[in-house]
A = this chain, B = another copy of it.
Amino acid sequence: MAARGPLSGITVVDLSRILAGPYCTFLMAELGARVIKIEPPGKGDDAREYGPFVAGKSTYFMSINRGKESIALDLKSEADRRIFEALLEKADVIVENFRPGTMEKLGYGWETLHERYPRLIYAAASGFGHTGPLSREPAYDMVVQGLGGMMSITGEPGGAPVRVGMSIGDIGAGLYTMIGVEAALLHRERTGEATKVDIAMFDCQLALLENAIMRYTVTGQIPGPLGARHPSITPFEAFPTADGHLIVACGNDALYQKACQAMGRPDLADNPLFKTNDLRNRNNEALFAEFAKELRKAPRSHWIEVFGKAGVPCGPINNVAQALENPQVPVRNMLIETEDPKAGKIRLAGNPIKLTAFEDPKTRPPAPDLDADRAKILKELGL
């Protein structure tokens, strides 16, 4: 197995800040690319000021910038522009998540770069994309979670507004940007042609809603929040037990029948109200009541055992600590360690992209201090 990943040999010039762009370049670094983070002199990436802090350093920043290099450049200064351009000569990909127009003002818009560096792939992750009337509007994660409809289908019916607990606006855009960059790399490998990847956080919210958009365009009904229930599969939700909630997910008729048998309620399997998924979906209140009545009779652990034996997918609602106690976590190396020179050892989420041809080490290099790699980079560039 190779120590580096499938993107080894790829150099990324990374102008991105905070989360959406950095999450894309984080994945690139995890897969073996060299990521050179260009930060503004002084404070660097805004995310360096997001807590929690250890020894004065942002662990928010550490988590998604591990394994990258940093050089501070003022792209309005002539001397720093020469360094930046020397980096672009060697780069395969540039990633930025400025407001659209910013790169053009700096003289580094796609058209200019494409002419000067014809093999350079340009990836932009912005709030609304590089086209359209709202293109230049600012956006952050929660703004697009709200605008894009994600918050409208998350939460309790009639309840207060609820955000998806992780930053789906940014990380969603980071994932699609990564897919676009890899597709562009593959295209360049096969044809020599470089392309621009133009990702909008707002577009990504719509793409992630997928099923909710289809339900609206097909039925005309506006999807609302459903608490802990799936909109089109039943039973597929959290039920009360004697001592806590249990998620039961019956994705087909066979699993539903197994669940009824396992609960000791074969009559439910035969009930004409619940024969097909479509019927169960339409009669979900009645079905919920029947399941809840049975499941309340015993503690969650009992039902996990009973359903587990029957092959019915089910499980508890874990908190983060409980999730990390899962015996899969060490085997799958989903909690890696990085050692920061000041903050010491920090444990972070691992890389879920497991490739048999490559190692998945238990440790990762730390995130760089601002401008930490300047001397090395300048020497390499002969500047």
Contact = CB atoms under 8 A, between A and B. Distances in A.
A281 interface: yes
Interface residues of A, number: 158
Given A146-B318, A183-B355, A357-B193, A161 B227 contact: yes
Nearest to A47: B251
Nearest to A329: B206
A146 B238 contact: yes
Nearest to A314: B143
A286 interface: no
A152 B319 contact: yes
Contacts of A323: 147-149, 152, 205-206, 209
Interface stretch (A77-85, A260-268, A330-338, A371-379): A330-338
A322 to B, nearest CB: 7
A277 interface: yes
Contact of A218 (B205, B223, B317, B346): B346
The 4 A-B pairs with the shortest beta carbon distances in the complex, nearest first, are A153-B165, A149-B323, A140-B249, A132-B331
B132 A327 contact: yes
Nearest to A333: B203
Contacts of A308: 137
24 contacts: A31-B179, A31-B183, A49-B253, A133-B328, A134-B328, A137-B313, A142-B249, A143-B247, A146-B318, A147-B315, A148-B318, A149-B318, A152-B320, A155-B165, A163-B230, A165-B212, A180-B353, A193-B357, A197-B353, A197-B354, A203-B332, A210-B348, A216-B324, A222-B319
A3 interface: no
A21 interface: no
Given A198-B354, A223-B320, A133 B327 contact: yes
A250 to B, nearest CB: 8
Nearest to A249: B140
A230 to B, nearest CB: 6
A67 B155 CA distance: 33
A50 B175 contact: no
A218 B166 contact: no
Given A46-B251, A143-B314, A166-B211, 20 more contacts: A5-B183, A7-B186, A60-B232, A64-B210, A139-B313, A142-B228, A143-B315, A149-B323, A152-B318, A152-B320, A154-B165, A163-B230, A187-B355, A196-B356, A199-B353, A200-B352, A202-B332, A206-B350, A217-B348, A222-B321
A122 to B, nearest CB: 9
A363 interface: no
Contacts of A289: none
A301 interface: no
A196 B357 CA distance: 7
Contacts of A206: 323-324, 329, 334-335, 349-350, 352
Contacts of A222: 319-321
A317 B152 contact: yes
A316 interface: yes
Nearest to A327: B133
Given A128-B328, A183-B6, A230-B142, A350 B207 contact: yes
Contacts of A331: 131-133
A341 interface: no
Interface stretch (A51-59, A68-76, A291-299): A51-59
